[in-house]
């Protein structure tokens, strides 16, 4: 039996820099991971099966096209897989992609086999390669170009989802222009959470304005996060609707999460530290 953590993916920045002839959008994104997520458990079995448990299981019925099952088929593996679902479904923090990546890692250990090559992994979805890396990277292209980023300073994230669905194709369609400026060529040296927040303030999530028009609850979520004591910056992740607030210490982040959960009991609210490279390495060994 092997167990693997599937951490939430957070787009600290998300610049849309172009669109290919096949319709895929080109991105430039600083991606981090939080120590909040799902969990995959795999056991040797003669056939491939999937059971979904956890607090969000009701939102994700088992279907043949589930990314966990697709990842297992890509590995050519048969196993009894259990997905403990904690992250909201289709919420801009890579839940399905993180689950697929965790499945690949767990099955590789279980069967003592290599991971699929990068091109094969990309067929599962644009976010699966970055989730397979599981550590802070600069993600470019359609998700296939990953460049290591020097360790981010210690910081904590409060993740909030207001419980509304955001249609990703509609968000991209509503984007006024597709050839926006990328991030700077060189990442600055960031020594503190305040430095990170200052850098993020100079960058963007190009999908946040159109997503907010389509789903006004996103604006309320960002404002509620930004109003919490100690929040250094609040922004939407991915194509929404999950938003994040950056905090300098864990106690302040936990306090903000408790306050938001009390004020908005229907919202999904979780606090967690930004995962560092050694945590990603430990998760894959």
CATH number of the domain within which 95 lies: 3.30.230.10
Identify whether residues 134 and 205 lie together within a single domain.
no
Q: Would residue 48 count as lying in a domain? A: yes
The pTM assigned to this predicted structure is 0.94
User: Are 177 and 206 a contacting pair, CB within 8 Å?
Assistant: no
Identify whether residues 257 and 162 lie together within a single domain.
yes
Q: Please tell me whether residue 219 adopts helix, strand or coil conformation.
A: helix
Identify whether residues 170 and 195 lie together within a single domain.
yes
Distance CA 119, CA 122 (A): 5
Residue ranges making up the domain that contains 169:
156-273
Identify whether residues 131 and 165 lie together within a single domain.
no
User: Are 158 and 271 a contacting pair, CB within 8 Å?
Assistant: yes
Distance CA 194, CA 235 (A): 15
Domains contained in the chain, number: 2
Structure-token pair, residue 124: 């599962």
Q: Is the dihedral of CA 256, 262, 263, 264 positive or negative?
A: positive
Give, as one character, the DSSP assignment of residue 163.
S
Identify whether residues 13 and 144 lie together within a single domain.
yes
Identify whether residues 170 and 144 lie together within a single domain.
no
User: Are 228 and 244 a contacting pair, CB within 8 Å?
Assistant: no
Domain boundary among 148, 166, 186: 148
210: CATH: 3.30.70.890
Q: Is the dihedral of CA 250, 251, 253, 254 positive or negative?
A: positive
- Tell me the DSSP string of 100-126: HHHHHHHHHHHHT-PPPPHHHHHTT-T
- Return phi, psi of residue 252, to 5°: -65, -40
| Helix pair 67-75, 95-111: axis angle to 10 deg | 30
Identify whether residues 80 and 129 lie together within a single domain.
yes
Identify whether residues 113 and 188 lie together within a single domain.
no
Q: Would residue 72 count as lying in a domain? A: yes
Identify whether residues 130 and 265 lie together within a single domain.
no
Q: Which of 174, 183, 191, 179 is nearest to 147 (CA)?
A: 183
User: Are 242 and 161 a contacting pair, CB within 8 Å?
Assistant: yes
User: Would you write out the chain's pLDDT as a tens digit for each of its 285 residues?
Assistant: 999 999 999 999 999 999 999 999 999 999 999 999 999 999 999 999 999 999 999 999 999 999 999 999 999 999 999 999 999 998 999 999 999 999 999 999 999 999 999 999 999 999 999 999 999 999 999 999 999 997 799 999 999 999 998 989 999 999 999 999 999 999 999 999 999 999 999 999 999 999 999 999 999 999 999 999 999 999 999 999 999 999 999 999 999 999 999 999 999 999 999 998 756 544 443
Structure confidence at residue 278 (pLDDT): 57
Q: Would residue 283 count as lying in a domain? A: no
Give, as one character, the DSSP assignment of residue 90.
S
Q: Would residue 281 count as lying in a domain? A: no
Identify whether residues 172 and 228 lie together within a single domain.
yes
Structure confidence at residue 16 (pLDDT): 98
Domain boundary among 148, 175, 192: 148
Residues 6+ apart with CB under 8 A from 31: 9, 10, 11, 12, 130, 136, 137, 138, 139
Q: Would residue 26 count as lying in a domain? A: yes
Q: Would residue 69 count as lying in a domain? A: yes
Structure confidence at residue 63 (pLDDT): 95
Domain boundary among 109, 124, 148: 148
Structure confidence at residue 281 (pLDDT): 44
Identify whether residues 15 and 144 lie together within a single domain.
yes
Active-site residue set: 9, 127
Residue 12's alpha-carbon distances to 51, 152, 177, 204, in angstroms, are 32, 11, 20, 8
Identify whether residues 61 and 143 lie together within a single domain.
yes
């Amino acid at each position: 039996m092997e167990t693997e953590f599937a951490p939430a993916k957070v787009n600290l920045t998300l610049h849309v820099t172009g669109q290919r002839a096949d319709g895929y959008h080109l991105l430039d994104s600083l991606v981090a991971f939080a120590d909040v997520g799902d969990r995959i458990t795999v056991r040797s079995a003669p056939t491939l099966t999937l059971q979904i448990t956890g607090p969000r299981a009701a939102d994700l019925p088992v279907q043949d096209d589930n990314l966990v099952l697709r990842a297992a088929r890509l590995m050519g593996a048969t196993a009894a897989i259990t997905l403990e679902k904690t992250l909201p479904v289709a919420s801009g923090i890579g839940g399905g992609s993180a689950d697929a990546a965790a499945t690949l890692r767990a099955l590789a250990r279980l069967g003592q086999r290599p991971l699929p090559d990068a091109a094969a992994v990309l067929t599962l979805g644009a976010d699966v390669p970055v989730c397979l890396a599981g550590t802070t990277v600069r993600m470019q292209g359609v998700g296939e170009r990953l460049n290591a980023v020097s360790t981010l300073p210690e910081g904590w994230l409060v993740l909030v989802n207001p419980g509304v669905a955001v249609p990703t194709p509609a968000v991209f369609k509503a984007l006024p222009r597709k050839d926006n400026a990328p991030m700077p060529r060189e990442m600055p040296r960031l020594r503190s959470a305040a430095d990170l927040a200052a850098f993020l303030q100079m960058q963007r999530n190009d999908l946040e304005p159109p997503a907010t028009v389509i789903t006004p609850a996103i604006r309320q979520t960002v404002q509620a996060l930004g109003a919490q004591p100690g929040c250094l910056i609040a922004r939407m992740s991915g194509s929404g609707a999950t938003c994040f607030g950056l905090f300098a210490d864990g106690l302040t982040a936990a306090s903000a999460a408790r306050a938001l959960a009390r004020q908005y009991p229907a919202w999904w609210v979780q606090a967690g530290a930004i995962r560092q490279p050694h945590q990603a390495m430990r998760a894959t060994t």
